[in-house]
């Protein structure tokens, strides 16, 4: 069947607008809109039949039995979309359409009436997305993005409403925690499950606050970022976490703060760093803030990372310096087998973990009778360093306590560095301008 024969059959089915007619042949003669194709087909048909051409009146497109006039409302829908996004900053967008089942069925019937394949040309929904999207881009000076746009407009033809989805924005950086007894994220009280009340009374475990700790790294950083970007909420994602009683010093720990429904997507990151540091009052400080893609969240959460620790250690009995040095040499480069530590057994699966110690150094304190030491350990991600020292009743082998034959315990712990095992955390592909 020729194009003109199919066109004639389509027009015999009833009143059809230029866009619906041209959509049947959208895979031909690129560079034309479906509306232009439809009008061209009418002209070609008039020439073939040597008939006077009666120009198609766009005002009659509301009579189209296929789209029922929706193809004449692209400008209206684009205006509705731009209005729905008023007040939100965005550089990229995407348009989707929730069509009526009746219109989709009409679209299929037109192809059948024209004697064409059910998938011929272009579907009504695809044209709607493209034509409305093209106009939205022009109205808002933004670019279409089919992967993860800043905003998504869903045109609901049944309700004649725009459902606006504002995607999150992400800020990557590193934090240092300069005080102990601050968890990374909010820590609800286990006694009252975060309610602040127990048995009808104020919970004694949290003094009615609902939290075991008054502050967290998240609470000292995320609210500032949320306010700066005017978002509805913010979530903190860390590259692992240090113990509550440990400080995070040195190069800091990578993190991403995810801001939901931001009205702003740009901010001076140096000024924001200063605002966070002021808000945290020296307890937490951040550096290297950069806007990142959403892939950075999983990268920060899942990438294996080596860590460097500095520990103050108390020994159960005096130890000679030579014996202490020999024990450290045996741990240096050792493969460690660790059963799940008793202190985390309530939240970690019971299994044996095998981890590598990359480097160990340390020294006994001169004025502590050989019972106190400072030790630095660089180890594979997932290495329990407190148990590397204490042995955890023999659940970690080898250990400093086991090699020395005396009890050993970490009295203070600082994390000095968190770095990716296979490559740096910060690759340009994970950031945006």
Helix, strand, coil shares of the chain, percent, nearest 5, are 35, 25, 40
- Residue 243 annotated among the catalytic residues of the structure: yes
With contact defined as beta carbons under 8 Å apart, do 312 and 408 qualify? no
Whole-number Å distance between alpha carbons of 171 and 291: 5
Going by their DSSP bridges, the two strands 246-260 and 408-420 should be labelled as parallel
Select which of 243, 277, 392, 414 is catalytic: 243
Which residues, at least 6 apart from 102, have a Cβ–Cβ distance to it below 8 Å? none
Backbone phi and psi for residue 97, each to the nearest 5 degrees, phi listed first: -135, 135
Query: What beta strand segments (E) does 203-318 contain?
Result: 233-238, 246-260, 284-292, 305-315
What's the rounded Cα separation, in Å, for the pair 111 and 9?
Answer: 10
In residues, how long is the chain? 433
Counting Cβ atoms within 10 Å, is residue 12 exposed (0-12), middle (13-18) or buried (19+)? Answer: exposed
**Residues assigned a catalytic role:** 243
């Amino acid at each position: 069947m020729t194009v003109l024969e199919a066109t004639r059959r389509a027009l015999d089915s009833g009143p059809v607008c230029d866009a619906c007619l041209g959509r049947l042949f959208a895979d031909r003669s690129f560079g034309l809109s479906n509306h232009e194709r439809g009008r061209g087909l009418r002209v070609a048909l008039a020439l073939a039949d040597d008939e006077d051409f009666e120009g198609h009146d766009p005002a009659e497109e509301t009579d189209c039995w296929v789209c029922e006039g929706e193809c004449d409302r692209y400008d209206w829908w684009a205006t509705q979309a731009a209005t729905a996004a008023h007040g939100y900053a965005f550089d990229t967008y995407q348009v989707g359409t929730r069509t009526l089942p009746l219109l989709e069925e009409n679209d299929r019937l037109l192809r059948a009436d024209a004697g064409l394949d059910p998938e011929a040309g272009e579907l009504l929904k695809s044209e709607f997305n493209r034509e409305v999207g093209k106009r939205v881009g022009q109205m808002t000076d933004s670019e279409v993005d089919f992967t993860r746009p800043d905003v998504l407009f869903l045109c609901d033809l049944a309700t004649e409403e725009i459902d606006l989805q504002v995607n999150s924005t992400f800020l990557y950086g590193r934090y240092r925690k300069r005080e102990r007894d601050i968890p990374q994220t909010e820590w609800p009280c286990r006694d009252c499950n975060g309610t602040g009340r127990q048995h009808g009374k104020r919970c004694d475990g949290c003094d009615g606050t609902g939290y075991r700790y008054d502050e967290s790294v998240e609470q000292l950083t995320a609210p500032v970022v949320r306010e700066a970007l005017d978002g509805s909420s913010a979530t903190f994602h860390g590259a692992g976490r240090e113990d509550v009683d440990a400080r995070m010093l040195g190069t800091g720990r990578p993190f991403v703060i995810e801001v939901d429904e931001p009205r702003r997507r740009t901010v001076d990151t140096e000024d924001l760093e200063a605002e966070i540091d002021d808000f945290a009052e020296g307890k937490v400080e951040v550096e290297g803030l950069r806007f990142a893609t959403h892939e950075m969240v999983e990268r920060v959460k899942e990438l294996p990372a080596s860590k460097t620790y500095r520990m103050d250690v108390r020994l159960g009995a005096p130890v000679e310096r030579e014996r202490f040095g020999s024990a450290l040499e045996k741990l240096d480069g050792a493969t460690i087998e660790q059963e799940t530590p008793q202190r985390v057994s309530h939240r970690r699966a019971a299994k044996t973990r095998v981890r590598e110690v990359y480097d160990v150094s340390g020294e006994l304190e001169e004025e502590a009778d050989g019972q106190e030491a400072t030790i630095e350990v660089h180890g594979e991600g997932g290495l329990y360093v407190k148990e590397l020292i204490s042995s955890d009743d023999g659940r970690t082998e080898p250990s400093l306590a086991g090699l020395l034959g005396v009890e050993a315990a970490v009295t203070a712990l600082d994390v000095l560095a968190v770095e990716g095992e296979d490559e740096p955390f910060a690759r340009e592909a994970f950031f945006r301008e």
